[in-house]
Structure 1
Amino acid sequence: MRSALKWAGGKKKVVNEIASLLPKQGKKRLVEPFVGGGSVFLNLDFDEYLLVDMNDDLINLFNIIKNQPLSFIGDAEKLFNSKTNQADRYYQLRDQFNQSSDPYERSLLFLYLNRHGYNGLCRYNKSGGYNVPFGRYKHPYFPSEELHYFSQRAQKATFIQGDFETAFSQLKSNDVVYCDPPYSPINPTSNFTAYAGNSFSDEDQQRLVNCAQKAKHDGVPTLISNHYVDFTKELYKDASKKKLFQVQRTISPKGKSRIKVKEVLALYK
């Protein structure tokens, strides 16, 4: 099942790769410190889910879909029509989102902006303002089926806003952890880690590995995704197991830049 959100770096196409390396025997709860669009939790069966992300708008949206699915879906669909699929109206609604402090209104507009904005980006400026430009799609898709499915799956999930250490601080012995952090850049000009208004540095990448190693010591396996570059080769040198594969990158507006890149799954078990 697809996520209701368009999400740069979403994992729907590589869920099978993740599932092949993620330990499940004796594990009842999946913990995701970077839930993102939610494709992994939507497609892997566990008794429970603990899903964390730094993006407050994302977690707020997920909790509202979980708790108020029918009213939310009905209200959200009203924002998907020919009048709202115009650049001027998009920027008006983007301004409305940035000025709003109402959680329900922000959630409706967050879904609208996600589906009408450029290429599935979720980006904020340094002041916390959502600044993704208009996407110019002919007929933005309203994900009714995906929202209904998400609300059903979410009944077994707990969504929390916070740093990834928030998730690791709540681990139990029957947990398994999957981490999809903002990726290390392929090169300095391709760095895009500020999806939640905060950068994710090399030091943060190391801090994540430190959490994975501690969890391993406590008997909780952790699987981490990332680009396979010189930095991550060294970063994951002590992983119990690694798996390499190639994926298609489509975030670039230039077709010739949409090339396959190598990714790594690093398991600490």
Structure 2
Amino acid sequence: MTIKKNRAFLKWAGGKYGLIDAITAQLPEGKKLIEPFVGAGSVFLNTDYSQYLLNDINPDLINLYKILQLQSKQYIADSASLFVPENNNADCYYDLRQKFNLSTDIYERAVIFLYLNRFGYNGLCRYNQKGIFNVPFGRYLAPYFPHKELEYFAEKAQHVTFTCLPFEKVFTRARAGSVIYCDPPYAPISKTAFFNSYASNGFSLEKQSILANLANKTGFERNIPVLISNHDTELTRKLYQGAVLTELQVSRFISQKSDARKKVGELLALYLR
């Protein structure tokens, strides 16, 4: 029997929809799933824990999720109003992008964020060092409005606590019965492949090391299981010594050129006493 998988309403670089089966096979049972790097939420949407703590360092993302959790009908209607043919051109896109960057209104930013995600290039979420969203226009024929996906997320979000904290603080909230899944910005495959600008502060190699040490202590000293996804590199294998490693081959779709969409090695590192 094939179980229907649920897609996230956001397009997301490095999203985990294609790896759901592999990830859920490794996730232990528990009462609460904690995700310090929730991203688009594919793992959340395809698991069945009784409680969730979903965190991300990107405040635009978490504010959108909180609004959808509390005002789903209004948010969906307002977001849908931007998904019209007359808004599918570069001039309109850059006008709305500028409006987003200048706005301090959380609700307005949340509505425009979904538009930028679906009309922008390859679903990227990227900010410069000043916190300015700078993804270019995507030039798609007819961007999809994810009405059903938004409704499903809003329904499931009733069992979620959303936070916008550094990942280190999220680990301190784990208790007996918790399971932690980490999908951090990936370690670079090469020196020229360091894409980590989901939020304006990036994710350094030092933070990769801090995360691995936290996972080790949490899994083995506190007896709270931790599963981490990352690229399969010499660095990550060194960082994740002591964890049970599962190797995967995954297609990456950042480039629009088909010959640049090659399979890359990934690791699932499970810290479980």
- TM-score normalised by length of structure 1: 0.98
**Separation in 2 of the partners of 1:188 and 1:73?**
40
Q: Which residue of 2 aligns with 1:48?
A: 51
* Aligned equivalents of 2:42, 2:65: Cα separation in 1: 13
Match of residue 10 from structure 1: 15
Code of the residue aligned with 1:120 in structure 2: it is G
Q: Aligned residues, how many?
A: 266
Q: 1:152 is matched with which residue?
A: 155
* 1:63-103 CA distance string (max 9 Å, x none): 00000000000110000001111100000000000000001
Name the CA distance, whole Å, in 1 between partners of 2:108 and 2:259.
39
Consecutive unaligned residues in structure 2, runs of 5 or more: 1-5
Aligned residue among 69, 85, 108 for 1:66? 69
The answer to whether structure 1 residue 185 and structure 2 residue 188 are counterparts is yes
Supply the AA of the counterpart residue of 1:12.
Y
Which amino acid letter does the alignment assign opposite residue 238 of structure 1? G
Corresponding letter in the other structure for 2:161:
T
Q: Deviations over 1:182-233 (max 9, x none)?
A: 0011111111011111121111011001111221111100000000011111
Write the distance in 2 (CA, Å) between the matches of 1:185 and 1:210. Answer: 19
Secondary structure (helix, strand or coil) at the match of 2:100 reads helix
Matches within 5 A, 1:15-54: 15-24=20-29, 27-54=30-57
Cα distance per residue 1:163-186 (max 9 Å; x no partner): 111210111101000000000111
| Displacement of 1:255 | 2.0
Correspondent of 2:106 among 81, 103, 108? 103
Query: What's 1:124 paired with?
Result: 127
Code of the residue aligned with 2:236 in structure 1: it is T
Question: Secondary structure, in 3 states, of the residue corresponding to 1:218?
Answer: coil
Amino acid of the residue matched to residue 114 of structure 1? N
- Distance in 2 (CA, whole Å) between partners of 1:194 and 1:115 is 18
Give the superposition deviation at 1:28. 0.5
CA distance in 2, matches of 1:100, 1:110: 11
Which of the residues 194, 199, 204 maps onto 1:196?
199
Unmatched runs of 5 consecutive residues or more in structure 1: none
- Aligned partners of 2:112 and 2:197: how far apart in 1? 20
Matched, 1:231 2:231: no
1:256 & 1:146 partners in 2: Cα distance? 30
Counterpart in 1 of 2:3?
none
Aligned to 2:172: 169
Q: Match for residue 261 of structure 2?
A: 258
Whole-Å Cα distance in 2 between the matches of residues 129 and 260 of structure 1?
Answer: 31
CA distance in structure 1 between the aligned counterparts of 2:75 and 2:203, rounded to whole angstroms: 32
2:94 to 91, 94, 103: 91
Q: In the alignment, residue 23 of structure 2 is paired with which amino acid?
A: I
Aligned pairs for 1:210-225 (under 5 A) are: 210-216=213-219, 217-225=221-229
Q: 1:47 & 1:95 partners in 2: Cα distance? A: 40
**Shift in Å at residue 253 of structure 1?**
3.0
1:3 counterpart SS class: coil
TM-score (structure 2 length as normaliser): 0.96
Structure 1 segments (4+ residues) deviating >6 Å: none
Give me the whole-angstrom Cα distance separating, in 2, the residues matched to 1:250 and 1:223.
23
Residues in 2 aligned to 1:117 and 1:194: alpha-carbon distance in whole angstroms: 15
**In structure 2, how many angstroms separate the alpha carbons of the residues matched to 1:194 and 1:108?**
21
- 1:222-246 deviation digits (Å, cap 9, x = unpaired): 000000011111111121x110010
CA RMSD of aligned residues (A): 0.7
Where 2:266 maps in the other structure, the secondary structure is strand
